Structures are given as structure tokens and as C-alpha cells.
Structure 1
């Protein structure tokens, strides 16, 4: 068994890369991921990527933050240390709104930062995982997991027919910046 873990097809043009994706899918070659230096319209649909669920996570973090601060303020101002200020009732809802709003936004922001770090594995101090250094500069890269049933020579031929300027067989899963 070969030590190749990834087969990378490097393209100069996004249209040729999209043509390469079509050819690979037509030949039932599973694509691991695609790396581009700029956003390409319609690539998510072509690769079958589902819509992000980050909005649900943000909503949950916001609800959690709002509930926590509302509970703290309610307990503090109504049960633990009730004060009669200007004859207002202890449980005056308009007084609770600014704290609840601010904490909702704060918890949503921090929760989304932690969710981003978890989802992308980009924790501070960690070496970034990069397939090819030129993918962030001027190349469009299609990464194919080499552990499939299709021979590597056939994948190389398909990528070259689609217009790949270079096909690399990586024996390591990722190339590091160092």
C-alpha cells in the first residue's frame, strides 16, 4: 500500500477547477476539499456542502447569556437585596432590559469565537494545516483522499485532462508553514 494520503490537483483558472470537479464527480471520485484564494460563486452547491448551522449556535449562546444575566439580576434585585427606589416595584422589567441585551450580545460574540476555533481547529499557538502554500496566493486546489478504490494514476489522468497545471501526491496529510 502506498504512503500517499492526498492527491492535489492545482489549477490556474477557477473555470478549469470547476470543470475538474465535474469530471471527478462524473467518475465517482470523492473530493476531500477544495481550496481557493478567493470566493467562487456556486462551488458549495457543486460540492454538495450543507448550509451552516452557526446561526443556531449563535441563537443558543444568546439565549443562554440572556437567561443567565436575567436570573442574576432578578435574584439580586428582587430576592437578595430588594431596595425601594422612588416607589418603583422590585420587579420592574424596563430596568432589566439593558443588562439582558448587553449580556446576550456578549455571550453570543464569545460563544461564536469559541465555536469558530473549535470548528476550524485554529486554536491560538497551533500550526495551521495547509495542503499547498500556493492555495492562498494564486492556485486553486482540489484535494482528493487517496485511500479510495480508484487507482492513483486514473485520478492523475482525470485531473490533467481537466486542465490541472500540477498534480501532487502528498505522503503527509498536511504541509506546514515551517
Structure 2
């Protein structure tokens, strides 16, 4: 089964943002936008929901903090207590000021590293994955908006040319 999509190519990010707004107001469905760099405000112009990755980063930080607290309590209090600088070694709470830097570092470590894996899984960026970029110019200096084609093909091409597209192509996309 195949369906047709329009590839509208732009050479300016401000023109692209304006075109996205016009496209959404004309009730066309934007499949994807390929850009060579992040475009500020594009997610809001496309109507995308806010990301929940920050929540997972916070949860991963809590996991790191719990791991640090558990490992420090086991190593420094229960398993092998040592007299370092005359500090008491029979209570975690009394030694906690000395443990704060380690707890902070493990919180950041867990959050950062687990977020990288989460981002790769969420973006489906597996090792040796073939690139899905439909036009190689979008890695350099052009912006591509992929829109599902429903209705008259000539009207759609004219609409996207009027939005400032430098090139408009109709592609038969395999699903």
C-alpha cells in the first residue's frame, strides 16, 4: 500500500515557521519536518504536545540519589566503617554532609546517562539504523516539510509554492 506526500522545501527557517502556521490553518496534516538545526518555536507551530522527557530525567535522578544513599550507607556505615578525620561512623545522618558531593554526582550521572538511552529509544535511533532523511540538503541548509496529500494535487502544489517553498515535489511514499 502506498500514499502520496508532498515534499515542500524551504531555504529559510522563518519562512518555514510561517508556512507551518499556514499549513495547519489550511487543515493539512504535516507528517514530518526535517531541519539542519533546531528551529525555535517549531514544536508549538506544529501543535506538538510538550515533551515528558524532563519528568523521566527527574525520576532517573531520584534513582541515582537512592542508589548513592544505599551504596554509601552500606559501604561507609555497615560494611567497613572507618575513622576518617575523627568523624563518627555509626550513623548515616551524622556523616551525610561528607556524602553530599558523592550523592550529587551520582544523581547527575544516572540522570544524564539514562536520559541518553531514553532519547535513543524514544527517537528509535538504534545502532546501524539506516537514515530516514528524504533529501540530503536538509542536513546542510534546506528545510523540508512532508505533508500528506489529500485532494487535488495541483491545488496543493500551488498552495505550498505560495507559502514560500523553493521546491515542491509529490512523492509516492511506501508505508
Q: Which interval holds the TM-score relative to the shorter structure?
A: 0.7 to 0.9
Contact 1:122 1:128 in 2 (8 A): no
Query: Number of matched residues?
Result: 171
TM-score (norm 2): 0.80
Partner of 2:156: 155
Partner of 2:34: 35
Alignment map for 1:83-162 (pairs within 5 Å): 83=82, 86=86, 88-91=88-91, 92-146=95-149, 149-162=150-163
Structure 1 portions without partners, runs of 5+ = none
Deviation of 1:173 (Å):
5.5
**C-alpha offsets along residues 151-172 of structure 1, whole Å, 9 cap, x if unaligned?**
4443223112223222223334
Question: In structure 2, how many angstroms separate the alpha carbons of the residues matched to 1:99 and 1:45?
Answer: 39
Query: Would the alpha carbon gap of residues 139 and 101 (structure 1) be closer, same or farther in structure 2, given more than 3 Å must change?
Result: same
Query: Would the alpha carbon gap of residues 171 and 79 (structure 1) be closer, same or farther in structure 2, given more than 3 Å must change?
Result: same
**C-alpha offsets along residues 129-153 of structure 1, whole Å, 9 cap, x if unaligned?**
212211122222111134xx43444
Question: In structure 2, how many angstroms separate the alpha carbons of the residues matched to 1:126 and 1:88?
Answer: 54
Q: What secondary structure does 2:97 align onto?
A: helix
Query: Would the alpha carbon gap of residues 5 and 66 (structure 1) be closer, same or farther in structure 2, given more than 3 Å must change?
Result: farther
Deviation of 1:39 (Å):
3.9
Contact 1:34 1:140 in 2 (8 A): yes
Q: What secondary structure does 1:28 align onto?
A: coil
Structure 2 portions without partners, runs of 5+ = none
Runs of 4+ in 1 over 6 A off after TM superposition: none
- Provide the aligned C-alpha RMSD in A: 2.6
Deviation of 1:111 (Å):
0.8
TM-score (norm 1): 0.79
Query: Would the alpha carbon gap of residues 22 and 106 (structure 1) be closer, same or farther in structure 2, given more than 3 Å must change?
Result: closer
